[in-house]
Chains A and B, each alone.
Chain A
Amino acid sequence: MRGPWVFLPLAAFVALVALMGAMLLGDRNPAEVDSALVGRAAPTLTLYALEPGGEPLVPADLRRGVPVIVNFFASWCVPCRAEHESLMALAGEHKVQIIGIAYKDKPAAARAFLEELGNPYDKVVLDESGRAGIEWGVSGVPETFVIDGDGMVRYRHWGPVVGDALETRLLPAVEAAR
Protein backbone atom coordinates (compact mmCIF):
# COMPACT_ATOMS: atom_id res chain seq x y z
CA MET A 1 0.00 0.00 0.00
CA ARG A 2 2.84 2.43 0.63
CA GLY A 3 5.28 3.12 -2.16
CA PRO A 4 4.23 5.54 -4.88
CA TRP A 5 0.80 6.16 -3.30
CA VAL A 6 2.42 8.39 -0.70
CA PHE A 7 2.90 11.02 -3.37
CA LEU A 8 -0.74 11.03 -4.45
CA PRO A 9 -1.83 13.98 -2.25
CA LEU A 10 1.21 15.99 -3.35
CA ALA A 11 0.51 15.22 -7.00
CA ALA A 12 -3.13 16.24 -6.55
CA PHE A 13 -2.03 19.48 -4.90
CA VAL A 14 0.43 20.32 -7.66
CA ALA A 15 -2.22 19.57 -10.29
CA LEU A 16 -4.70 21.87 -8.55
CA VAL A 17 -2.18 24.70 -8.26
CA ALA A 18 -1.31 24.31 -11.94
CA LEU A 19 -4.99 24.41 -12.92
CA MET A 20 -5.71 27.47 -10.81
CA GLY A 21 -2.56 29.21 -12.01
CA ALA A 22 -3.50 28.59 -15.63
CA MET A 23 -7.01 29.93 -15.05
CA LEU A 24 -5.71 32.96 -13.19
CA LEU A 25 -2.88 33.93 -15.52
CA GLY A 26 -4.53 32.97 -18.79
CA ASP A 27 -6.23 35.38 -21.14
CA ARG A 28 -9.59 34.88 -19.55
CA ASN A 29 -12.21 37.15 -18.04
CA PRO A 30 -14.15 35.32 -15.33
CA ALA A 31 -17.11 37.69 -15.76
CA GLU A 32 -17.42 36.69 -19.38
CA VAL A 33 -20.05 34.11 -20.15
CA ASP A 34 -20.07 32.09 -23.36
CA SER A 35 -22.76 33.14 -25.76
CA ALA A 36 -25.57 30.66 -26.27
CA LEU A 37 -25.93 31.97 -29.82
CA VAL A 38 -22.61 30.87 -31.26
CA GLY A 39 -23.21 28.11 -33.81
CA ARG A 40 -26.86 29.03 -34.22
CA ALA A 41 -28.78 31.22 -36.61
CA ALA A 42 -28.74 34.90 -35.76
CA PRO A 43 -32.03 36.31 -34.49
CA THR A 44 -34.07 37.71 -37.33
CA LEU A 45 -35.67 40.88 -36.14
CA THR A 46 -36.70 43.93 -38.07
CA LEU A 47 -35.37 47.07 -36.43
CA TYR A 48 -35.92 50.66 -37.41
CA ALA A 49 -33.12 52.80 -38.76
CA LEU A 50 -31.45 55.39 -36.56
CA GLU A 51 -31.77 58.02 -39.28
CA PRO A 52 -35.35 59.04 -39.97
CA GLY A 53 -36.33 57.53 -43.30
CA GLY A 54 -33.29 55.23 -43.28
CA GLU A 55 -33.50 51.59 -44.23
CA PRO A 56 -34.48 49.21 -41.44
CA LEU A 57 -32.54 46.10 -40.49
CA VAL A 58 -34.17 43.15 -42.23
CA PRO A 59 -33.33 39.43 -41.98
CA ALA A 60 -31.66 39.53 -45.41
CA ASP A 61 -29.05 41.92 -43.98
CA LEU A 62 -27.61 39.02 -42.01
CA ARG A 63 -27.45 36.71 -45.03
CA ARG A 64 -25.39 38.69 -47.45
CA GLY A 65 -23.17 35.84 -48.53
CA VAL A 66 -20.22 37.53 -46.83
CA PRO A 67 -19.48 37.81 -43.10
CA VAL A 68 -21.18 40.71 -41.38
CA ILE A 69 -20.45 42.12 -37.97
CA VAL A 70 -23.25 43.12 -35.62
CA ASN A 71 -22.16 45.58 -32.97
CA PHE A 72 -24.31 46.60 -30.03
CA PHE A 73 -23.34 50.07 -28.82
CA ALA A 74 -24.73 53.08 -26.98
CA SER A 75 -23.77 56.71 -26.70
CA TRP A 76 -23.89 56.44 -22.91
CA CYS A 77 -21.46 53.54 -22.88
CA VAL A 78 -17.86 54.50 -22.16
CA PRO A 79 -16.21 51.24 -23.35
CA CYS A 80 -18.06 51.77 -26.67
CA ARG A 81 -16.16 55.02 -27.08
CA ALA A 82 -12.94 53.12 -26.39
CA GLU A 83 -13.59 50.49 -29.06
CA HIS A 84 -14.79 52.95 -31.69
CA GLU A 85 -11.36 53.29 -33.22
CA SER A 86 -11.21 49.52 -33.77
CA LEU A 87 -14.59 49.59 -35.51
CA MET A 88 -13.45 52.45 -37.76
CA ALA A 89 -10.38 50.39 -38.72
CA LEU A 90 -12.53 47.31 -39.27
CA ALA A 91 -14.81 49.17 -41.68
CA GLY A 92 -12.05 51.25 -43.30
CA GLU A 93 -8.85 49.25 -43.68
CA HIS A 94 -10.37 45.81 -43.46
CA LYS A 95 -13.55 46.53 -45.45
CA VAL A 96 -15.83 44.54 -43.20
CA GLN A 97 -19.52 45.40 -43.18
CA ILE A 98 -20.74 46.37 -39.74
CA ILE A 99 -24.31 46.70 -38.58
CA GLY A 100 -24.68 48.92 -35.54
CA ILE A 101 -27.50 48.45 -33.07
CA ALA A 102 -27.95 51.41 -30.72
CA TYR A 103 -28.92 49.68 -27.49
CA LYS A 104 -31.23 51.53 -25.10
CA ASP A 105 -30.19 54.80 -26.59
CA LYS A 106 -32.01 57.98 -27.55
CA PRO A 107 -31.88 58.49 -31.32
CA ALA A 108 -30.53 62.03 -31.02
CA ALA A 109 -27.80 60.96 -28.59
CA ALA A 110 -26.76 58.04 -30.80
CA ARG A 111 -26.61 60.31 -33.85
CA ALA A 112 -24.50 62.85 -31.97
CA PHE A 113 -22.16 60.04 -30.86
CA LEU A 114 -21.60 58.94 -34.47
CA GLU A 115 -21.19 62.51 -35.70
CA GLU A 116 -18.51 63.12 -33.11
CA LEU A 117 -16.54 59.90 -33.54
CA GLY A 118 -17.33 58.93 -37.13
CA ASN A 119 -19.72 56.33 -38.45
CA PRO A 120 -18.16 52.90 -39.12
CA TYR A 121 -21.54 51.30 -39.73
CA ASP A 122 -23.02 50.07 -42.95
CA LYS A 123 -26.40 50.37 -41.34
CA VAL A 124 -27.38 51.71 -37.94
CA VAL A 125 -30.62 50.70 -36.30
CA LEU A 126 -32.31 51.38 -32.98
CA ASP A 127 -33.12 49.10 -30.09
CA GLU A 128 -34.59 51.59 -27.65
CA SER A 129 -36.34 49.03 -25.47
CA GLY A 130 -33.43 46.61 -25.31
CA ARG A 131 -35.60 43.81 -26.67
CA ALA A 132 -33.28 43.08 -29.56
CA GLY A 133 -30.46 42.89 -27.02
CA ILE A 134 -32.33 40.17 -25.17
CA GLU A 135 -32.98 38.28 -28.40
CA TRP A 136 -29.22 38.33 -28.99
CA GLY A 137 -28.45 37.34 -25.41
CA VAL A 138 -26.65 40.61 -24.79
CA SER A 139 -25.88 41.33 -21.14
CA GLY A 140 -24.34 44.74 -21.69
CA VAL A 141 -22.79 46.97 -24.32
CA PRO A 142 -20.57 46.70 -26.21
CA GLU A 143 -20.98 43.22 -27.61
CA THR A 144 -19.94 42.26 -31.10
CA PHE A 145 -21.07 39.29 -33.18
CA VAL A 146 -19.56 37.81 -36.31
CA ILE A 147 -22.25 36.44 -38.63
CA ASP A 148 -21.29 34.31 -41.61
CA GLY A 149 -22.79 34.62 -45.08
CA ASP A 150 -25.63 32.24 -44.22
CA GLY A 151 -26.75 34.11 -41.14
CA MET A 152 -25.08 31.84 -38.57
CA VAL A 153 -23.47 33.38 -35.50
CA ARG A 154 -19.83 32.32 -35.58
CA TYR A 155 -18.25 34.39 -32.83
CA ARG A 156 -19.24 36.75 -30.06
CA HIS A 157 -16.86 39.29 -28.59
CA TRP A 158 -17.84 40.27 -25.09
CA GLY A 159 -16.85 43.78 -24.05
CA PRO A 160 -14.93 46.39 -26.02
CA VAL A 161 -12.69 45.50 -28.95
CA VAL A 162 -9.58 47.24 -27.64
CA GLY A 163 -5.85 46.53 -27.52
CA ASP A 164 -4.96 43.65 -29.81
CA ALA A 165 -8.47 42.17 -29.75
CA LEU A 166 -9.15 43.34 -33.31
CA GLU A 167 -6.07 41.56 -34.71
CA THR A 168 -6.08 38.50 -32.48
CA ARG A 169 -9.78 37.79 -32.14
CA LEU A 170 -12.21 39.65 -34.33
CA LEU A 171 -10.37 39.58 -37.65
CA PRO A 172 -9.47 35.86 -37.38
CA ALA A 173 -13.13 35.16 -36.58
CA VAL A 174 -14.20 37.11 -39.67
CA GLU A 175 -11.66 35.19 -41.78
CA ALA A 176 -12.89 31.89 -40.37
CA ALA A 177 -16.46 32.86 -41.26
CA ARG A 178 -15.62 33.48 -44.93
Chain B
Amino acid sequence: MKHLLARLMLVAAFALPAHAVDVDEVPLDDPAKEAEARDLMKEVRCLVCQNQSIEDSDADLARDLRVIIRERMAAGDDTDQVKAYLVERYGDWVLLKPPVAGRTLILWGSPVLILLLVAAGLLLRRRAAPPPPLSAEEEAKLKALLEAAEADEKEPRG
Protein backbone atom coordinates (compact mmCIF):
# COMPACT_ATOMS: atom_id res chain seq x y z
CA MET B 1 0.00 0.00 0.00
CA LYS B 2 2.76 2.43 0.82
CA HIS B 3 4.09 2.14 -2.71
CA LEU B 4 0.74 3.07 -4.18
CA LEU B 5 1.65 6.68 -4.76
CA ALA B 6 4.95 5.72 -6.33
CA ARG B 7 3.20 3.23 -8.58
CA LEU B 8 0.60 5.74 -9.61
CA MET B 9 3.32 8.22 -10.46
CA LEU B 10 5.05 5.58 -12.52
CA VAL B 11 1.84 4.87 -14.42
CA ALA B 12 1.27 8.59 -14.95
CA ALA B 13 4.78 8.97 -16.28
CA PHE B 14 4.18 6.38 -18.98
CA ALA B 15 0.63 7.44 -19.76
CA LEU B 16 1.63 10.14 -22.20
CA PRO B 17 -0.81 10.52 -25.07
CA ALA B 18 0.07 8.03 -27.77
CA HIS B 19 1.08 10.08 -30.73
CA ALA B 20 2.16 8.77 -34.06
CA VAL B 21 4.23 11.74 -35.09
CA ASP B 22 7.70 10.30 -34.71
CA VAL B 23 10.41 11.83 -32.63
CA ASP B 24 12.77 11.98 -35.58
CA GLU B 25 10.33 14.10 -37.53
CA VAL B 26 11.43 17.68 -37.31
CA PRO B 27 8.62 20.20 -36.89
CA LEU B 28 8.68 23.31 -39.04
CA ASP B 29 10.51 26.33 -37.62
CA ASP B 30 7.51 28.60 -37.96
CA PRO B 31 4.96 27.50 -35.31
CA ALA B 32 2.06 28.91 -37.34
CA LYS B 33 3.08 26.88 -40.38
CA GLU B 34 3.63 23.79 -38.24
CA ALA B 35 0.09 24.17 -36.85
CA GLU B 36 -1.22 24.48 -40.41
CA ALA B 37 0.71 21.39 -41.44
CA ARG B 38 -0.66 19.46 -38.45
CA ASP B 39 -4.21 20.48 -39.36
CA LEU B 40 -3.62 19.29 -42.89
CA MET B 41 -2.26 15.96 -41.65
CA LYS B 42 -5.54 15.38 -39.84
CA GLU B 43 -7.36 15.68 -43.19
CA VAL B 44 -5.13 13.32 -45.12
CA ARG B 45 -5.98 9.65 -45.20
CA CYS B 46 -3.35 7.06 -44.47
CA LEU B 47 -3.50 4.84 -47.55
CA VAL B 48 -2.31 1.78 -45.69
CA CYS B 49 -4.70 1.84 -42.75
CA GLN B 50 -7.36 3.71 -44.75
CA ASN B 51 -9.57 4.95 -41.95
CA GLN B 52 -6.90 6.80 -40.04
CA SER B 53 -5.44 10.16 -40.82
CA ILE B 54 -1.72 10.30 -41.43
CA GLU B 55 -1.45 12.29 -38.23
CA ASP B 56 -2.74 9.27 -36.31
CA SER B 57 -1.00 6.53 -38.19
CA ASP B 58 2.22 4.71 -37.45
CA ALA B 59 2.53 3.37 -40.97
CA ASP B 60 5.72 4.06 -42.90
CA LEU B 61 3.84 5.66 -45.75
CA ALA B 62 2.02 7.99 -43.36
CA ARG B 63 5.37 9.09 -42.00
CA ASP B 64 6.68 9.72 -45.51
CA LEU B 65 3.62 11.78 -46.34
CA ARG B 66 4.04 13.84 -43.17
CA VAL B 67 7.62 14.55 -44.16
CA ILE B 68 6.50 15.57 -47.64
CA ILE B 69 3.79 17.87 -46.30
CA ARG B 70 6.31 19.66 -44.11
CA GLU B 71 8.79 19.83 -46.96
CA ARG B 72 6.34 21.42 -49.32
CA MET B 73 5.05 23.85 -46.75
CA ALA B 74 8.60 24.87 -45.90
CA ALA B 75 9.13 25.47 -49.61
CA GLY B 76 6.25 27.94 -49.55
CA ASP B 77 3.26 25.86 -50.69
CA ASP B 78 -0.05 26.65 -49.04
CA THR B 79 -2.34 23.88 -47.81
CA ASP B 80 -4.39 23.86 -51.01
CA GLN B 81 -1.28 23.36 -53.10
CA VAL B 82 -0.13 20.50 -50.87
CA LYS B 83 -3.57 18.92 -51.11
CA ALA B 84 -3.48 19.23 -54.89
CA TYR B 85 -0.06 17.55 -54.90
CA LEU B 86 -1.41 14.61 -52.92
CA VAL B 87 -4.66 14.32 -54.90
CA GLU B 88 -2.69 14.28 -58.14
CA ARG B 89 -0.92 11.12 -56.97
CA TYR B 90 -3.48 9.37 -54.82
CA GLY B 91 -6.82 10.73 -56.02
CA ASP B 92 -9.61 12.28 -53.95
CA TRP B 93 -9.53 9.23 -51.71
CA VAL B 94 -6.46 10.62 -49.97
CA LEU B 95 -8.61 13.38 -48.48
CA LEU B 96 -10.73 12.25 -45.53
CA LYS B 97 -13.29 14.88 -46.53
CA PRO B 98 -13.90 14.61 -50.26
CA PRO B 99 -14.24 17.89 -52.17
CA VAL B 100 -17.58 19.15 -53.44
CA ALA B 101 -17.29 18.78 -57.21
CA GLY B 102 -19.19 17.46 -60.19
CA ARG B 103 -17.94 13.89 -59.69
CA THR B 104 -18.84 13.91 -55.99
CA LEU B 105 -22.29 15.37 -56.62
CA ILE B 106 -24.09 12.13 -55.78
CA LEU B 107 -22.16 11.80 -52.54
CA TRP B 108 -22.91 15.29 -51.30
CA GLY B 109 -26.29 15.62 -52.98
CA SER B 110 -27.89 12.35 -51.83
CA PRO B 111 -28.91 13.54 -48.32
CA VAL B 112 -30.58 16.61 -49.84
CA LEU B 113 -32.23 14.45 -52.49
CA ILE B 114 -33.61 12.04 -49.89
CA LEU B 115 -34.88 14.95 -47.79
CA LEU B 116 -36.64 16.42 -50.82
CA LEU B 117 -38.18 13.07 -51.71
CA VAL B 118 -39.52 12.61 -48.20
CA ALA B 119 -40.89 16.17 -48.15
CA ALA B 120 -42.54 15.61 -51.52
CA GLY B 121 -44.06 12.36 -50.26
CA LEU B 122 -45.46 14.05 -47.16
CA LEU B 123 -46.90 16.91 -49.20
CA LEU B 124 -48.61 14.50 -51.58
CA ARG B 125 -50.17 12.68 -48.66
CA ARG B 126 -51.50 15.91 -47.19
CA ARG B 127 -52.99 16.95 -50.48
CA ALA B 128 -54.74 13.64 -50.99
CA ALA B 129 -58.49 14.07 -51.40
CA PRO B 130 -60.40 14.34 -48.11
CA PRO B 131 -62.45 11.24 -47.23
CA PRO B 132 -66.01 11.25 -48.63
CA PRO B 133 -68.75 12.63 -46.31
CA LEU B 134 -70.55 10.16 -44.04
CA SER B 135 -73.77 8.62 -45.26
CA ALA B 136 -77.05 9.21 -43.34
CA GLU B 137 -76.78 5.74 -41.83
CA GLU B 138 -73.20 6.38 -40.60
CA GLU B 139 -74.23 9.78 -39.19
CA ALA B 140 -76.98 8.12 -37.14
CA LYS B 141 -74.55 5.47 -35.87
CA LEU B 142 -72.01 8.10 -34.87
CA LYS B 143 -74.66 10.13 -33.06
CA ALA B 144 -75.83 7.09 -31.10
CA LEU B 145 -72.27 6.25 -30.12
CA LEU B 146 -71.52 9.79 -28.95
CA GLU B 147 -74.71 9.92 -26.90
CA ALA B 148 -73.96 6.59 -25.28
CA ALA B 149 -70.49 7.81 -24.37
CA GLU B 150 -71.89 11.00 -22.86
CA ALA B 151 -74.42 9.07 -20.80
CA ASP B 152 -71.61 6.80 -19.64
CA GLU B 153 -69.61 9.76 -18.38
CA LYS B 154 -72.48 11.24 -16.42
CA GLU B 155 -73.07 8.08 -14.47
CA PRO B 156 -71.25 7.93 -11.16
CA ARG B 157 -68.40 5.48 -11.16
CA GLY B 158 -68.57 2.56 -8.85
Q: Which residues does A use to contact B, with CB under 8 Å? A: 1, 31, 33-37, 104, 129-131, 133-137, 139-140
Contacts and interface: CB of A to CB of B under 8 A. Distances in A.
Interface string B76-98: 00000000000111110100000
Contacts of B89: 36-37, 134-137
A37 B87 CA distance: 10
| Majority DSSP secondary structure for residues of B touching A | helix
B87 A36 contact: yes
A139 B64 contact: no
A77 to B, nearest CB: 12
Interface of B: 47-48, 50, 60-61, 64-65, 68, 87-91, 93, 124-125, 128
Given A31-B50, A139-B48, A36 B61 contact: no
Most buried by A among B48, B88, B89: B89
Contacts of B88: 36
Nearest to B46: A139
Contact of B91 (A31, A35, A104): A35
Contacts of B125: 1
A33 B124 contact: no
A140 B93 contact: no
Per CB-CB distance, the 4 closest pairs between chain A and chain B, nearest first, are A139-B47, A36-B91, A137-B89, A33-B93
Contacts, number: 41
Contacts of A135: 89
Nearest to A139: B47
Nearest to B91: A36
Contacts of B68: 134
A56 to B, nearest CB: 22
9 contacts: A33-B93, A35-B91, A36-B90, A37-B89, A129-B64, A130-B64, A134-B64, A134-B65, A140-B47
A140 B68 CA distance: 17
B151 to A, nearest CB: 39
Nearest to B64: A130
Given A104-B60, A134-B68, A140-B48, A1 B93 contact: no
Nearest to A43: B89
A86 B125 CA distance: 62
A37 B88 CA distance: 8
Contacts of B65: 134
Given A36-B90, A139-B90, 14 more contacts: A33-B90, A33-B91, A34-B93, A36-B87, A36-B88, A130-B60, A134-B89, A136-B89, A137-B89, A137-B91, A139-B47, A139-B48, A140-B47, A140-B61
